[in-house]
Amino acid sequence: MAYLFTSESVSEGHPDKVADQISDALLDNFLAFDPDSKVACETLVTTGQVVLAGEVKSDTYLDVQHIAREVINNIGYTKGAYQFSGDSCGVISLIHEQSQDINQGVDRANKEEQGAGDQGMMFGYATKETENYMPLALDISHKILIELAALRREEKDITYLRPDAKSQVTIEYSDDNIPQRIDAIVVSTQHDQFDEDEVMLSKIKEDIINILIPRVKAQMPEYVQQLFNDDITYHINPTGKFVIGGPHGDSGLTGRKIIVDTYGGKGAHGGGAFSGKDPSKVDRSAAYAARHIAKNLVAAGVADEILVQVSYAIGVVEPTSIYVDTYGSKNVALTDGEIAKKAAEIFDMRPAAIEKRLKLRNPIYLETAAYGHMGKEPKTVTKVFESPYSGKITKEVELFTWEKLDFVDNVKKAFNL
């Protein structure tokens, strides 16, 4: 029997994502000036206020208030009417030094013997249903909001948009797990008060369906474009007007959008958030490494869909387990346990090895903090960081290294593909 599956996304202006981006901007600045920094930074945003908290061990000192304000302004919270703007909000820093009890289990004289920064399990997932090996409903949800933000910044075709927004896509699948059509699309976008409520809501719905959706559709490959149809049920700002939004409408916290950040409800999640954490925290680095494994295994043809789980004990070098589930889609004459064993031989999952392989000690994290940590195009960029205490530094870094298909040949050789 056919079934429906739904995933959601949230915009860069969503309160939780504002918090994530501030936390990751702080992390990037610490790593830019001191690559060995240990950072666990949490952010709270609410009406007119930002609170920074957490633990840091670093040789550099930052103007954290300035960094937070810069992030908020870049997102688009620049007007007093939003009751939250980068130039006027209060920024309180409660950041203190990392516990030595934790640090002693992580830092080692030999960096290769670095212990895991925490216990726990992390998951990576990949599927052949999209070109970037991501679940389709989540991929479309992200693209809707990326394009909505582009329209907001253009201030041409739609001029009333504000930064806060959410999207949701429901897809109908056949019994053999093939996407058949898009069943429903939900978009809730913050907006100016530009007319009477009924006229305003009608205009917003018309613009989303006739301007935004065609732009999103045009970016998709042909097989995805065919899933868009005249029978899609649209819910556009279904609760009514959405003028009050962002941190004024709802407080935001780092790490509250972990399903949006990963696979939209497909696969599994170990529970650990990413943003604000340096790569010694395996919550983040091992989740990236597990995605790297899953994507390369699927791309190599081992299976059409793969879930990878890895687990650690705090302060211990080797993972406590590596698990693989191919959902019955494997293309090799091996059990899932045998596939997991081979994967462990191909990919070194010690924390220091992950950091080195994926180049995670670089300031690469702000770009991950909105529209998903997985599924984006790996690329090299030049980033500039300035500090009143340490001067100006320019760094060329690789973004989204865990999305590279650089182990496909190794996997094919190991599995005789």
Q: Whole-prediction pTM value?
A: 0.95
Nearest to 135 by CA among 237, 212, 205, 224: 224
242 labeled part of a ligand binding site: yes
pLDDT number for residue 390: 87
pLDDT number for residue 389: 85
Q: What is the 3-state secondary structure (H, E, C) of 168-227?
A: EEEEEECCCCCEEEEEEEEEEEEECCCCCHHHHHHHHHHHHHHHHHHHHHHCCCHHHHCC
pLDDT number for residue 115: 78
Rounded CA-CA distance 312/309 in Å is: 10
241 labeled part of a ligand binding site: yes
261 labeled part of a ligand binding site: no
Residues 211-222 pLDDT 10s: 999 999 999 999
66 labeled part of a ligand binding site: no
356 labeled part of a ligand binding site: no
257 labeled part of a ligand binding site: yes
User: 90 is written with which tokens?
Assistant: 């209060």
pLDDT number for residue 338: 97
112 labeled part of a ligand binding site: no
415 labeled part of a ligand binding site: no
Burial tier of 197 (Cβ tally within 10 Å: 0-12, 13-18, 19+): exposed
Amino acid at position 186, single letter: V
Q: Which residues contact 398 (CB under 8 A, 6 or more apart)?
A: 359, 362, 364, 378, 379, 380
Task: Set out the domains of the chain in order of their start, with CATH numbers.
Answer: 3-9+136-244 (3.30.300.10), 120-128+259-272+279-414 (3.30.300.10)
Write the DSSP assignment of 184-198 as a string of letters: EEEEEEEE---S-HH
Residue 3: Cβ within 10 Å count: 10
281 labeled part of a ligand binding site: yes
Q: Report the helix count and the strand count for the chain, using DSSP H and E.
A: 13, 13
Residue-wise pLDDT tens for the chain (417 aa)? 799 999 999 999 999 999 999 999 999 999 999 999 999 999 999 999 999 999 999 999 999 999 999 999 999 999 989 999 999 999 999 999 865 655 555 655 566 678 787 889 999 999 999 999 999 999 999 999 999 999 999 999 999 999 999 999 999 999 999 999 999 999 999 999 999 999 999 999 999 999 999 999 999 999 999 999 999 999 999 999 999 999 999 999 999 999 999 999 999 999 999 999 999 999 999 999 999 999 999 999 999 999 999 999 998 899 999 999 999 999 999 999 999 999 999 999 999 999 999 999 999 999 999 999 999 999 999 999 999 888 999 999 999 999 999 999 999 999 999
42 labeled part of a ligand binding site: yes
Beta bridge partners of 169: 7, 185
pLDDT number for residue 394: 96
98 labeled part of a ligand binding site: yes
287 labeled part of a ligand binding site: no
